[in-house]
Amino acid sequence: MGESERGESAPRQRVSYWCANGHESRPSFALDAERPESWDCPRCGLPAGLDEKEPPKAPRNEPYKTHLAYVKERRSDADGEAILAEALAKLRARREG
């Protein structure tokens, strides 16, 4: 369907958003639409805000943790040795039985 068949589009306004890297994004919104407080920067992906002087801070990225790292956070070495000993005892009992 062409634009002439849809009728006229709503009046628009461009709104400036700035990210922590200083990039400016200018999406357009209908005049009567509520503009969001933040917008994802299309250049770097960081959140962008309406205040050029105080853009949103870049989110803190946690380094990738392996499953073992998460387990070590929850279990002490003694707990790990006890669980291992229990699992080995079950395996040995299954092999003998």
Buried b (16+ CB within 10 A) or exposed e, 60-81: eeeeeeeeeeeeeeeeeeeeee
Residues in the annotated binding site: 19, 23, 41, 44
Residues in the annotated binding site for Zn(2+): 19, 23, 41, 44
Q: What are phi and psi of 96, to 5 degrees?
A: -80, -30
